[in-house]
Amino acid sequence: IAGITQAPTSQILAAGRRMTLRCTQDMRHNAMYWYRQDLGLGLRLIHYSNTAGTTGKGEVPDGYSVSRANTDDFPLTLASAVPSQTSVYFCASSVKGENNEQFFGPGTRLTVL
């Protein structure tokens, strides 16, 4: 793989179910991020990780959890999905630094019914 990948591409999920969105990058970037993008709103940061083994909360962390066991993978878990978590989810990565751009995965479109 080259760059950053996400799986699944899209998913329809019943409310109350558990779901893990996968994200993998092969660029050896230190930092990784999870965003959600909703119509009319900017990208909102859910969780981030500055380096393997550490994670932090973003603007909208409630209902989500992450782990960073290694440099490449950064899964996002919805423990018990709710309809308000219907969104497009983007994973991103960057080299740690002030002016370093973030590279985005193709996104996962999640619908919670």
Partner 1 sequence: GQNIDQPTEMTATEGAIVQINCTYQTSGFNGLFWYQQHAGEAPTFLSYNVLDGLEEKGRFSSFLSRSKGYSYLLLKELQMKDSASYLCAVKDSNYQLIWGAGTKLIIKP
Rule CB under 8 A: say whether 41 interacts with partner 1: yes
Instruction: Return the bridge partners of 92, or none.
Output: 33, 104
Count of positions on this chain that bind partner 1 (CB under 8 A): 19
Rule CB under 8 A: say whether 63 interacts with partner 1: no
- DSSP character at residue 96: S
For partner 1, which residue of 11, 44, 52, 63 counts as binding (CB under 8 A)? 44
CB of 16 to partner 1, least distance (A): 29
Who contacts 64 (Cβ-Cβ below 8 Å, separation ≥6)? 34, 46, 47, 76, 77, 78
Binding site for partner 1 (CB under 8 A): 35, 40-45, 48, 58, 90, 98-99, 101-107
